[in-house]
Amino acid sequence: MSHWLELEQKYYMRTFNRLPVVLVRGEGTRVWDENGRCYLDMVAGIAVNVLGHCHPAVVEALTRQARTLIHTSNLYYTIPQLELAELLINHSCADRVFFANSGAEANEGAIKLARKYGRLHRHGAYEIITVTGSFHGRTLATLAATAQPKYQEPFAPMPEGFRSVPFNDLEALQAATTERTCAVLLEVVQGESGVHLADGDYLRGVRAWCDQHNLLLILDEIQTGMGRTGRFLAYEHHGIEPDIFTMAKGLAGGVPIGAVLAKERAAVFTPGDHGSTFGGNPLACAAGVATVRTILEQDLAAHSARVGRYLLEQLRALQARQPAIAQVRGLGLMVAFDLTTDRAAEVVRGALQRGLILNNTGPRTIRMVPPLILTEAEVDEAVAIIAETLADLPAA
Ligand SMILES: *Cc1c(COP(=O)(O)O)cnc(C)c1O
């Protein structure tokens, strides 16, 4: 066993079932392990490396910023933070932004905004309606919002103020609304549960319901944002605008960052309500500016739509001749397929041995969230390896 695997087993908290590779270098859509083996990366650090690994624009921005000013706190004005703020506001429906350091932290900010809004504008309402199969993070409040008992049970009791209803069921959401409700929190495409799409009619219905009852619509765009689904933000597919939305994962091309964005009427924080030592730090924001500019300049959202459609087509063609695949779904470069049996972990390991990185979100579901720079030739390469892996699965 590699020395590094032994060190992990000895020293690291037992939180991850990692694949047995030590990754040491990345470039574009490829990563290399400590033995020099190359892999095509269809996971991209879980939808994080949107420009691929070590993109020159990100490396250049980080290097320049690291030589200039790394951190100051938010006691002062800094330039990359304000450049990134302006870029995001100019390319979204939001009027104001707050930067955090992760997705969960961005969602915490959104939850606090919704509660303060309820206090000010809905007679003290504080409850947030979430949906089954969602994922919003691992802090206590975002875990309470996540509505998946397996994540919550070991850490009970959960913070109050969250109520979950079935996904894509407008009537259930309407029935769960009370005078205590202040907001609805949704993903446009659920990522961690294995790429499940919200219906357009459902989203428009939720938007109308929120308008009718003075509830805030919060969209978690942490995984779907940054061009992932074929639009810069996934809500753009459906002709609606949220009151609040959150971003993280791909926002700084691989550097930790999170953001909560809101329309003016929902941006109810006043000085002292919220803060962060690191949030919006010059290093992370310089990487964010480089990443967002590159995505916009190269129209990687349109590229993601095109290559994602091709990936779906190729997987559906494979499904037609490979009975192990039960279903294929996706939007842009956020794609998954279900197997007919619980063998997703075996498929991930088999593909890894053949030089392809995949991710299983459940016992029979494989997810792909590759860099947005992925080419059609690389789709062919990935699908060929998936086909070979499925064909070679030992009889169960
Ligand atoms: C990853 C993810 C989060 C949590 O982000 P972290 O940076 O891991 O805290 C929240 N919501 C969605 C939709 C995600 O995909």
pLDDT in tens, 4-13: 999 999 999 9
pLDDT at site 339: 98
List 41, 220, 243, 338, catalytic entry: 220
Distance 223 CA to ligand 1 centre (A): 7
190 lines ligand 1 (CB under 6 A): no
Q: Is the pLDDT of residue 49 over 90?
A: yes
Q: Judge whether residue 77 has pLDDT over 90.
A: yes
pLDDT for the residue 395: 79
What is the pLDDT, as a whole number, of residue 267? 98
Active site residue 135: yes
Q: Is the CB of 103 under 6 A from ligand 1?
A: yes
Q: What is the whole-number distance in angstroms between the Cα of residue 107 and the centre of ligand 1?
A: 8
Contact indicator for 45, 254 with CB cutoff of 8 Å: yes
Strands 334-339 and 162-165: unpaired
Picking from 112, 42, 125, 10, the residue whose alpha carbon sits closest to that of residue 336 is 42
Contact 222 CB / ligand 1 (< 6 Å): yes
Is the pLDDT at 296 greater than 90, yes or no? yes
* pLDDT interval class at 113 (50, 70, 90): very high
Q: Is the CB of 191 under 6 A from ligand 1?
A: yes
pLDDT at 334 > cutoff 90: yes
By the 8 A CB rule, do 39 and 32 touch? yes
The answer to whether 232 is a known catalytic residue is no
Ligand 1, pocket-test mutation among 135, 221, 255, most atoms within 8 A of CB: 135
Q: Is the pLDDT at 360 greater than 90, yes or no? A: yes
Ligand 1 atom closest to 221 (CA): 13
Is the pLDDT reported for residue 59 higher than 90?
Answer: yes
Query: In a mutational test of the pocket of ligand 1, which residue from 249, 255, 257, 260 has the highest number of ligand atoms less than 8 Å from its CB?
Result: 249
Q: Is the pLDDT of residue 1 over 80?
A: no
Q: Which residues contact 83 (CB under 8 A, 6 or more apart)?
A: 285, 289
Residue 148 pLDDT greater than 90, yes or no: no
Residues 98, 99, 135, 245: which is the catalytic one? 135
- Ligand 1 neighbourhood includes 108 CB (under 6 angstroms): no
Q: In a 10 Å sphere around its CB, with 0-12 CB exposed, 13-18 middle and 19+ buried, how is residue 345 labelled?
A: middle
CB burial of 110-127 (b: ≥16 within 10 Å; e: otherwise) equals bbbbbbbbbeeebeebbb
* Gap between the terminal Cα atoms of the chain: 27
- Reported pTM: 0.98
Residue 150 confidence class, pLDDT cut points 50, 70, 90: confident
* Alpha carbon nearest to ligand 1 atom 11, residue: 136
Q: Which residues are CB-neighbours of 62 under 8 A, at least 6 positions away?
A: 255, 283, 286, 287, 290
Collect all residues with Cβ–Cβ distance below 8 Å to 265 and sequence separation of at least 6.
243
**165 contacts 131 by C-beta, under 8 angstroms:** yes
- CB of 137 within 6 A of ligand 1: the answer is yes
Closest atom of ligand 1 to CA, residue 191:
15
Edge-to-edge strands, sheet with 258-262: 96-100, 258-262, 244-247, 216-220, 181-186, 127-131, 162-165
pLDDT band at 149 (very low <50, low <70, confident <90, very high): confident
DSSP conformational letter for 234: G
104 lines ligand 1 (CB under 6 A): yes
% of the chain residues with pLDDT over 70: 99
396 pLDDT more than 80: no
Average pLDDT on 259-275 reads 98
Please say if 201 is a catalytic residue: no
CB within 8 A of 50, min separation 6: which ones?
A: 44, 226, 227, 228, 250, 253, 291, 295, 300, 371, 372
pLDDT in tens, 192-205: 999 999 999 999 99
Q: What is the pLDDT of residue 297?
A: 98
Per-residue pLDDT at 157: 95
Q: What is the reported pLDDT for 64?
A: 98
Dig out the tokens for 155 from the structure: 């850490």
